[in-house]
Structure 1
Amino acid sequence: MSSNKKIFRNIIATLLGEGVGALLNIYVIVLIARTLGPESFGDFAFILAFVGLLQLVTDMGVTNLLVREIAQKREQYKYFFGNVRLLAWTVTLVATAPTAIVCLLILEDRDFGLSLFIMTVAALIVFHSVIYGALFRAFERMEFNAAIFVIHKVILLALTLYWREHDPSILALCGYYLLANICQFLLFYACSLTVFKRIPWRFDPGLWKYVLFESAPIGLSMMCRRATLHVDTLILKAMAAPLALGLFNAAYRVIQIIEMLPFTLSIPIYPKLARLALGDKADFSRFLNQVLKFYAILSLPIVAYVFVFAEDIIGLMYTPEFASSANILQALAVAIFFIFPSSIMIYVYSAMGRQRLFTLISVATLATNAILDILLIPHLHAFGAAVGTVTAEALFIAGSLWFLYRQSVPVQWVRMSYKPLLASLLAGYAVNAVFASPGLLQFILASLLFAVAYLALILVSKTLNQRELAFLTALIKRRPAGKGAQ
């Protein structure tokens, strides 16, 4: 099977897995929010944000480095994987001890502390699952990752339904998350035994040093980018009422679901970026501009759709208590336009050998978001957090485009965006005029009308030329033998 065909197969498997898993996760979050209410849901969202950051700290880019090393030296996969497995368990023990002290002995709210500790353990188990997932990624067997991801969400949904009927408390919910994550780990372990047989632990201090040193810049930048996504929740927890925290996270969950799409699409594009970065910068710039134009065509209608249907989305997902989240979702919708191109920037910087600069820009983005939150939340509450998020994401893209321009890789961002923007605005205006206050059936019809109107406007305006259509075809077309596709 050719390299491009494998990439296409993995894209389809990942999109299907992430798509079905995302839908199941949406339902899980909706059930939790409806059961807990805005204030308690805000507390649970804080726990998720905290353990999400902790998981990044323990990972620190190790899994991404593992993929690279195994992909380049497959014959040594047992050596690399055995060492990283033992390293992961060492990191887990180191992270668990101080967390247990803080959660179980220092925090005054015992139930909250125990809930936080249980979710910490659940997140660390996910770290081990991701390591096994990296092994399958390195061997381009993404169908295993996709299938296990969906099964995990099915198990979580079943446990959530049981939780609602028997003990709808945050503490019990965290216990069920832990149980679902244990099942996910056991599935990865069983599949690895089937495909790769048993891989024993190994201990090579030199390799451990190499792994930690090489993965640190990537891990730090990923941690900063993820922290930027969660910093609003953490600051709202400290500075605002629980209601504001719950309302913000109800809206932000919608954005987090959408952002999975560009991150999934960006993964298979990296190899070609890396190859082009070694050659003519004009070819690198041309390819990057084509990718970013397609991202603009995808992201702008999503922005318009979420903005127009914000009240309906919130109304369908949550109880009437969350109605105020609609305005927050409208503000956050603008961030989608910047999230799409930002998803590929870590690969752009890596291809150009400038990972450390990417880390610096990520740190600056995080600091900007945090400062704006501190300044705006006391006055605008949850809406202030939304403004901080959008502004920080916009500055991240502005800084990245300025860097590319200085590296003789100009990006025609305005030129590539104005036609999709006009098409999105016209489609959104038309749907809003026809369906002023839709119910469920009208909402579905309005969504279909919006999609048809946008596609028609894209075709009429000739947003995509023949060369770009050929480029889309080339992304999934099998190369002739002898091209040496990576």
Structure 2
Amino acid sequence: MSTVKRIYHNIMFLSSAEAVSKVLQFVLMVYAARILDQASFGKFSFALSLSFIAIILADLGINNLLIREIARDKKSVNKYFINAFVVKLVFALVTYLFVIVLLNVLGYPQDTRYVVYIIWIFTIISTFTDLFYSVFRAFERMFFDALIKILRMVILTSIGLYVLFSGYGVVVFSFTFIFAEALMLIIAYFIASNKFIQIKLTLNWDFMKSIVKKALPFGLAFVFSAIYFYIGTVMLSKFRGDVEVAIYSVAYQLALAILFIPTVYVNAIYPVMSRYFKTAKNDLIFIYKKSFKYLYIIGLPISVGTYFLADRIIVSFYGQEYTSSIIALQIISWFLFIKFLNYLMGFGLASINQQNRRMFSQGSTAVFNVILNLILIPSMGVVGAAVAAFFTEIFLFILYYWYMSKYLYTFNFLKILLKPIIASAAMVAFIVYSGLGLILIIPLSAVVYFAVIFILKTFEEDDYKIMKKILIKGEVKEDTLLD
């Protein structure tokens, strides 16, 4: 199978799984926000945010290191997996103790601490499930990744909704996450052990040290990323209380749900980019150029559409109780298309062995975000957190673009800037003057946007060549995107 088709199939598997998962997750969170009181939903959102920051310490960047190294040498999978598993176990236990101490030192109430402890157990289990995902992705077999993700959300949503409608409250609701994730870990183990790994307890302490050393730049980059992604929620909890956390989380979680699009795309091309860095640098540059263009074309109308439909989205799904979330969603919407590009450039740096530059960029961005939040949140609350998130993403884009231009390729994005803006303007006119309901206006706005994109001849000959390779049956002998 040609590289184009393999990437396409993997994107389809991952995007289908992410779409189903995000829809189910969205449904679950909407009902959680509606059924739980705002304070309880705020506690749950705080627990998720804090756990997402802490779990990065348990992972330490090992997942992404495994994808890159196993993609380059499939025979190393057994050695990497078992040693990485032990390293993760140690760091997970240490981090769990750290979370317990931190919550008690900061004086959080007992009910909040209980919810965090429960969600943290869920995140520990998920970090080991993610280790199996790394193997599936390194072998470019995203079907198994997709299968497990769909099963997880079907089970979690079913049980979670039952718990919510039965009135069991936030603590029991949190336990459903542990049950669903533990079941997925067992399934992932059986798939991996039958198809990819011969799990044997052959530990190598020196190799474990090398894993930690190699993974550290990845890990610190993700720690910094988690800080600027979720620290706003944590600081809102401390400065403004659980109700404002709930208001902000409604808007922020909607934005994060949309980010499954670049996540899926980049996860599909990351192993290929890592391999091409060693074997075909021109093909790597080609993938980067086209990916930058496609993610911008897709991301910009999503930002624009979310801004103009924010009021209808919030009221339709969450009700009048969360109208305060509208302005936060409008501000956050503008960071979406920038985030699409930042995902690509961040993983691009990792694929070309520039993870130290990625780590520096993420670290600088985390510091920038914390400073902005400290300035804005005490006086502006939810709006301040949203403004900080927007300017933080711009800051990260500048750093990533500089390093990718220096170490791989200088992409002149001014060449593709104008036509998607014109198409977005046409889409806005349709949204404003059509008077249609939300269910119809979203897909029809997309049709208007892409119709203008094609009319303006935004896609070039090689773009159609890629589409042709995807659609034509049969294999292409040359394993290159350029042929």
**Does TM-score exceed 0.5, indicating one fold?**
yes
Contact 1:15–1:264 under 8 Å retained in 2: yes
| Structure 2 residue aligned with 1:262 | 262
1:99-114 counterparts in 2 under 5 A? 99-101=99-101, 107=107, 109-114=109-114
Q: State the one-letter code of the partner of 2:455.
A: V
1:52-451 counterparts in 2 under 5 A? 52-101=52-101, 107=107, 109-196=109-196, 199-271=199-271, 273-274=273-274, 287-407=287-407, 409-435=409-435, 442-451=437-446
Further displaced range: 194-203 or 121-130: 194-203
**Shift in CA distance, 472/57, structure 1 to aligned 2, threshold 3 Å:** farther
Task: Quote the offset at 1:285 in angstroms.
Answer: 5.2
**Shift in CA distance, 270/84, structure 1 to aligned 2, threshold 3 Å:** closer
Q: State the one-letter code of the partner of 2:166.
A: H
Q: Normalising to structure 2: TM-score of the pair?
A: 0.92
1:465 aligns with 2:460: yes
After superposition, the C-alpha distances for 1:41-93 in whole angstroms (9 at most, x for unaligned) are 22211100111111111001112222333333333433332222233323333
After superposition, the C-alpha distances for 1:372-395 in whole angstroms (9 at most, x for unaligned) are 111112232111111111111011
Task: Quote the offset at 1:113 in angstroms.
Answer: 1.4
After superposition, the C-alpha distances for 1:335-359 in whole angstroms (9 at most, x for unaligned) are 0120110011123213443211111
Contact 1:4–1:479 under 8 Å retained in 2: no
| Structure 1 residue aligned with 2:477 | 481
Further displaced range: 99-108 or 139-148: 99-108
Contact 1:289–1:412 under 8 Å retained in 2: no
Further displaced range: 164-173 or 138-147: 164-173
Q: Secondary structure at the match of 2:348?
A: helix
Could you tell me which runs of 5 or more consecutive residues in structure 1 were left unpaired when the two chains were aligned. Answer: none
Q: How many residues align?
A: 481
Contact 1:304–1:428 under 8 Å retained in 2: yes
Contact 1:235–1:373 under 8 Å retained in 2: yes
Task: Quote the offset at 1:107 in angstroms.
Answer: 4.6
- Distance in 1 separating the partners of 2:344 and 2:27: 28
| Structure 2 residue aligned with 1:26 | 26
Q: State the one-letter code of the partner of 1:348.
A: G
Q: Normalising to structure 1: TM-score of the pair?
A: 0.91
- Distance in 2 separating the partners of 1:81 and 1:275: 19
Task: Quote the offset at 1:223 in angstroms.
Answer: 2.0
- Distance in 1 separating the partners of 2:397 and 2:87: 35
| Structure 2 residue aligned with 1:44 | 44
Task: Quote the offset at 1:281 in angstroms.
Answer: 8.1
Task: Quote the offset at 1:244 in angstroms.
Answer: 2.0
Aligned Cα root-mean-square deviation (Å): 2.6
Contact 2:140–2:271 under 8 Å retained in 1: no
Q: Secondary structure at the match of 2:458?
A: coil
Task: Quote the offset at 1:485 in angstroms.
Answer: 8.3
| Structure 2 residue aligned with 1:13 | 13
Q: State the one-letter code of the partner of 1:307.
A: Y
After superposition, the C-alpha distances for 1:415-452 in whole angstroms (9 at most, x for unaligned) are 312210121122112221121xx5xxx22222233122
Contact 1:21–1:153 under 8 Å retained in 2: yes
- Percent of residue pairs identical: 24
Could you tell me which runs of 5 or more consecutive residues in structure 2 were left unpaired when the two chains were aligned. Answer: none
Q: Secondary structure at the match of 2:350?
A: helix
